[in-house]
């Protein structure tokens, strides 16, 4: 076998994150990001394994141009990652919202594209750029198999009573208003890694996985299947996040709109971009900044941190109730993997569930999968670095192999 190169693309409204894998060895050949698309000072970052990172600034007005620059760089003689675009066998696209259409990864054909289009309304911030990325990649890599991997797919196993909202039923029937959940690729990956780490069959485990990065969600996973998760119809529900408010009393929305004379767009922006850690601290959405300010006595940063941790604890508690138990608690993503303080503060007041943290292990700064609970803890507390890109690449490889059988 000559190898199988798979390109992973994760498009945001003004960015393209990309990673090129050689899937016969699951090794990363190159990775990077194009930022500030739509401006004359867009930035392309590329890191080719074994070489110095490269940063270029230029005008990039849309995703088509962004992707074509990335491909040219990968094919350039200096970088020499690939000789020609034909070498890329598959492109795996992260698609955030798959609605009720998709419970697993699929090859993108016109019908799939149409279904992704139809979910734009449910996640406009994510699905529209995802579709732009698909269009750009399909036109520039026409020979490759294009695969969509959905954030929502893993959560399609939730029982009806967990995903329905107690609103008039007609809203579900007409508009499919229900809980979908997100970060599914990550929750699936870390739960499978946790079972492998513990050398136990996943079918025996009740796992609670905390994906806390910029966006943040908790999932309850029983027998390897998602049974509940804190994000909802959109990635706004649930935990307090960097700039998103998470759960609030829904009556606040019309009240604030009336009092402040806000438009729909303004109130959405308030809840998505000006709330969470940033809204409470008035300082930053970045947990590193919040932690430092709190340590120096900044009262609002302290409050933001207290609220953030308290909410995670409450959701964990509710999922212990949902599953009637918890064997494993996982921390992952930017905050979960790196903040020993957040992990400590979340776990400190969960001793009633039998959680005992090993402070020494928790303080260690390492990139590896590891246990941070004591040997007598009733719950295994693990830090598992997530790898959504590898998971997407594996799904793409699986589908390519299926069609070439």
Ligand X SMILES: Nc1ncnc2c1ncn2[C@@H]1O[C@H](COP(=O)(O)OP(=O)(O)O)[C@@H](O)[C@H]1O
Ligand Y SMILES: CC(=O)OP(=O)(O)O
Figure out which of the listed residues 118, 157, 192, 214 binds ligand X, where binding follows CB under 6 A.
Answer: 214
The partner in contact with residue 319, picked from ligand X, Mg ion, ligand Y, none with C-beta cut-offs of 5 to 8 angstroms by kind, is: none
Q: Is 384 in the site for ligand X (CB under 6 A)?
A: no
Count of residues that bind ligand Y according to CB under 6 A: 8
Question: Tokens representing 392?
Answer: 């997407």
CA-based end-to-end distance of the chain: 14
How many residues contact ligand X, by CB under 6 A?
12
Beta bridge partner(s), residue 18: 9, 32
Q: Give yes or no for residue 390 binding ligand X (CB under 6 A).
A: no
Rounded to 5°, angle at Cα 141 from 137 and 142:
105
Q: Is 242 in the site for ligand X (CB under 6 A)?
A: yes
The reply on whether position 385 binds ligand X by CB under 6 A is no
Separation CA 187–CA 154 (nearest Å):
8
The CA distances from residue 206 to 120, 138, 318, in Å, are 33, 40, 13
Task: Give me the torsion for CA of 319, 322, 327, 332, rounded to 10°.
Answer: -30
Q: How far apart are CA 339 and CA 344, in angstroms?
A: 9
Ligand-binding annotation for 334, yes or no, is yes
Residue from 40, 52, 109, 151 carrying the catalytic annotation? 151
Determine, following the binding rule CB under 6 A, whether residue 366 of this chain makes contact with ligand X.
Answer: no
- Binders in 219-238 for ligand Y, by CB under 6 A: 235
What is the closest distance, in whole angstroms, from the C-beta atom of residue 235 to ligand Y in the complex? 4
The least distance separating ligand Y from the CB of residue 180, rounded to whole angstroms, comes to: 10
* Residue from 32, 99, 133, 213 in contact with ligand Y (CB under 6 A): 213
Q: What angle do CA 393, 394, 396 make, to 5 degrees?
A: 65
Structure letter (DSSP) for residue 220: E
Angle between helices 124-140 and 63-75 (to 10 degrees): 50
Cβ distance to ligand Y smaller for residue 73 or 149? 149
Residue 327: active-site member? no
Residues ≥6 apart with Cβ < 8 Å to 219? 154, 155, 181, 183, 184, 187, 191, 208, 209, 211, 226, 228, 229, 230
Question: Which residues ranging from 160 to 189 are in contact with ligand Y (CB under 6 A)?
Answer: 182-183
Q: Which stretch binds ligand Y (CB under 6 A): 71-79, 82-90, 103-111, 207-215?
A: 207-215
Per-residue tokens: 66: 């962004």
Residue 182 binds which entry of ligand X, ligand Y, Mg ion, none, with Cβ cut-offs from 5 to 8 Å by kind?
A: ligand Y
Interacting residues with ligand Y (CB under 6 A): 96, 151, 182-183, 213-215, 235
Annotated binding site for Mg(2+): 10, 388
Annotated binding site for substrate: 94
Residues involved in catalysis: 151
């Amino acid at each position: 076998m000559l190898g199988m190169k798979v390109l992973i693309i994760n498009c945001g409204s003004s960015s393209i994150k990309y990673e090129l894998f050689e899937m016969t060895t699951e090794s990363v050949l190159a990775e990077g990001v194009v930022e500030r698309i739509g401006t004359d000072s867009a930035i392309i970052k590329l890191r080719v394994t074994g070489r110095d990172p490269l940063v270029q600034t230029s005008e990039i007005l849309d995703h088509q141009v962004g992707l074509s620059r990335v491909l040219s760089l990968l094919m350039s003689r200096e970088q020499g990652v690939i000789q020609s675009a034909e070498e890329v066998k598959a492109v795996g696209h992260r698609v955030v919202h798959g609605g009720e259409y998709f419970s697993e990864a699929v090859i993108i054909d016109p019908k799939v594209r149409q279904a992704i289009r139809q979910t734009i309304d449910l996640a406009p911030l994510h699905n529209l750029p995802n579709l732009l990325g698909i269009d750009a990649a399909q036109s520039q890599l026409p020979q490759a198999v294009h695969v969509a991997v959905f954030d929502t797919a893993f959560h399609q196993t939730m029982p009806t009573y967990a995903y329905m909202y107690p609103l008039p039923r007609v809203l579900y029937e007409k508009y499919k208003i229900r809980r979908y959940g997100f970060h599914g690729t990550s929750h699936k990956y870390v739960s499978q890694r946790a079972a492998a780490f513990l050398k136990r069959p996943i079918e025996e485990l009740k796992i609670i996985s905390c994906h806390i990065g910029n966006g943040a969600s908790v999932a309850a996973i029983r027998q390897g299947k998602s049974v509940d998760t804190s994000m909802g119809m959109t990635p706004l529900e649930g935990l307090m996040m960097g700039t998103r408010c998470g759960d609030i009393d829904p009556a606040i929305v019309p009240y604030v709109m009336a009092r402040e004379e806000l438009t729909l767009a303004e109130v959405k922006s308030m809840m998505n971009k000006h709330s969470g850690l940033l809204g409470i601290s008035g300082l930053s959405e970045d947990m590193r900044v919040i932690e430092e300010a709190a340590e120096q006595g900044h009262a609002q940063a302290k409050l933001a941190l207290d609220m953030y941790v308290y909410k995670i604890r409450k959701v964990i508690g509710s999922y212990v109730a949902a599953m009637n138990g918890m064997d494993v608690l996982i921390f992952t993503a930017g905050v979960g993997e790196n903040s020993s303080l957040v992990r400590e503060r979340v776990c400190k007041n969960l001793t009633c569930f039998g959680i005992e943290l090993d402070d020494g292990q928790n303080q260690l700064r390492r990139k590896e999968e590891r246990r941070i609970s004591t040997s007598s803890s009733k719950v295994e507390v693990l830090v598992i670095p997530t790898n959504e890109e590898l998971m997407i690449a594996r799904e793409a490889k699986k589908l390519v192999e299926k069609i070439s059988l």
